[in-house]
Amino acid sequence: MKPKVAFFDFTSCEGCQLDALNLDVGEVLGLLGAVDIVNFREVKTDRSDDYDIAFIEGSITKESEIPRLQAIRNQAKVLVALGACACTGGVNCLKNAYSSDELLKGVYGECASFYNTIPARPVNAVVPVDYYIRGCPPTTAEFVKVVKALLLGKRPDLPNYPVCTEC
């Protein structure tokens, strides 16, 4: 049976997912043949809560994202943090230098009360992470390498260094 793969975005620019889509035709056909993609909001509307491998894009910046991420962790056998925002908090951590009030009023003005924000944090500040694909965005080659390793039941061999500034 093919592993079921899901992609989830939290607070992010979605560039990591776009980059994951930026595969050449041969790679796409190879990967699509080996996995079932059951959640990928940018490319399909069908969704399933039954998946084995979850790729998480983005950092956690809202209370509501915490239970959502925990539910994904409970379901996924393997959870991969995809990109600098997920791995380290990324550019979203810039907001941590300001109070929630300052930020919300500066960005949303009078609508600020509709938003509930918390300091930006990486995925592993909320749930355990199995693998990290670093970069802003990660390279397509590293993404493919991780997917192939997971399909073979191997530990992905990736450099453990940040490309972007950590917060």
Binding site for ligand SF4 (CB under 6 A): 12-13, 15-16, 57-58, 83-85, 90-91, 136-137
Residue positions counted in the chain: 167
Sequence-ordered list of residues with C-beta below 8 angstroms from that of 73, at least 6 positions apart, any chain: 54, 79, 127, 128
Q: What is the dihedral of CA 78, 18, 159, 92, to 10 degrees?
A: -90
| Coil, strand or helix at 11 | strand
Sequence-ordered list of residues with C-beta below 8 angstroms from that of 99, at least 6 positions apart, any chain: none
Q: How far is the CB of 43 from ligand SF4 (least distance, A)?
A: 16
Residue number, nearest CB to ligand SF4: 15
Residue 53 or residue 87: which is nearer to ligand SF4 going by CB?
A: 87
Contact between 57 and 12 under an 8 Å Cβ cutoff? The reply is yes
Q: How far is the CB of 159 from ligand SF4 (least distance, A)?
A: 16
Residue 16 or residue 37: which is nearer to ligand SF4 going by CB?
A: 16
Q: How far is the CB of 129 from ligand SF4 (least distance, A)?
A: 15
Residue 22 or residue 48: which is nearer to ligand SF4 going by CB?
A: 22
Residue 42 or residue 50: which is nearer to ligand SF4 going by CB?
A: 42
